[in-house]
């Protein structure tokens, strides 16, 4: 398994989906998944996607600056992304970092762990 | 296991050690560990610490802004840190993000995965 290739494909798909229709992220999480979003904790696909859908903006665009991935001994993939967020058409980006742990259910990778933080510079 | 408590204790100890004597980070890694440092790949405790010791600054201080942690189903702990770096006494901080996966060897937690990136804002 090439962790970097999986990470590239996953991250592209994740943000395309996030930026077009956040509700469609639901199949990427499972009942065992965790999200930490700016310090708040959410568990399970339904709670996680409810949180993401409730974020108070109409439109968002993620621009990925870096995407680093490594395998773990248990066959998971850990990813750290840095990038910029453009919210509601504003021209001043916000900077963010996001950590994912992807796990394979036998057929597909899903998001086991997800930690999101804005970076205030 | 309280992932946040382990993460707090680990991150404090890791940066205290990094900022005082990087060579002393060696016991925190194992032969199976990985480091991605600004996009370069290093594997195994010796190569990883050699890289960290070779970084071209005399003094460094890490200031942690956020430290988020979650457990994984395989009993690991995934951590995302954001913070500031002050290098060689400069007053303008650089911003960074670092992702760790900690694994327990039965007695202690060690660093299985480590991804470091500066964030350019």
pLDDT at A121 over 80: no
- Is B121 among the domain residues? no
ipTM: 0.95
Q: Which pair of tokens denotes residue A90? A: 């504003």
Q: Is A117 on the interface with B (CB under 8 A)?
A: yes
Question: Residues A9, A17: contact at Cβ < 8 Å?
Answer: no
CA-CA distance, A26 to A100, in Å (whole number)? Answer: 15
Contact check, Cβ <8 Å, A72/B97: no
Range of the domain at B65: 3-116
**What's the mean pLDDT in B85-95?**
92
pLDDT of residue A1: 72
pLDDT at B42 over 90: yes
Q: Which of the residue ranges A70-74, B88-92, B112-116 has the most confident prediction, judged by mean pLDDT?
A: B112-116
Contact check, Cβ <8 Å, A72/B119: no
pLDDT of residue A74: 87
**What's the mean pLDDT in B40-69?**
97
- Is B22 among the domain residues? yes
DSSP state of A4: H
Convert the pLDDT of each residue in A53-106 to its tens digit.
999 999 999 999 999 999 998 899 999 999 999 999 888 999 999 999 999 999
The closest CB to that of B78, out of A71, A99, A119, belongs to A99
pLDDT of residue B26: 98
pLDDT at A120 over 90: no
| Beta-carbon contacts of residue B83 (< 8 Å; ≥ 6 apart) | B62, B63, B64, B65, B66, B95, B96, B98
* CATH code of A67's domain: 3.10.450.50
pLDDT of residue B76: 95
Number of structural domains in chain B: 1
CA-CA distance, B61 to B64, in Å (whole number)? Answer: 10
Q: What percent of chain A has pLDDT over 70?
A: 100
pLDDT of residue B121: 73
Q: Is B117 on the interface with A (CB under 8 A)?
A: yes
């Amino acid at each position: 398994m090439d962790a970097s290739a999986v990470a590239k494909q996953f991250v592209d798909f994740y943000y395309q989906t996030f930026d077009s229709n956040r509700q469609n992220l639901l199949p990427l999480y499972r009942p065992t998944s965790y999200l930490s979003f700016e310090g708040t904790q959410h568990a399970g696909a339904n709670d996680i996607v409810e949180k993401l859908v409730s974020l108070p903006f109409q439109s968002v665009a993620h621009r990925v600056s870096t995407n680093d991935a490594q395998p773990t001994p248990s066959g998971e993939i850990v990813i750290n992304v840095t990038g910029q967020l453009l919210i509601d058409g504003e021209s001043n980006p916000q900077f963010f970092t996001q950590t994912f742990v992807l796990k394979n259910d036998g057929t597909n990778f899903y998001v086991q762990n997800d930690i999101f933080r804005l970076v205030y510079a």
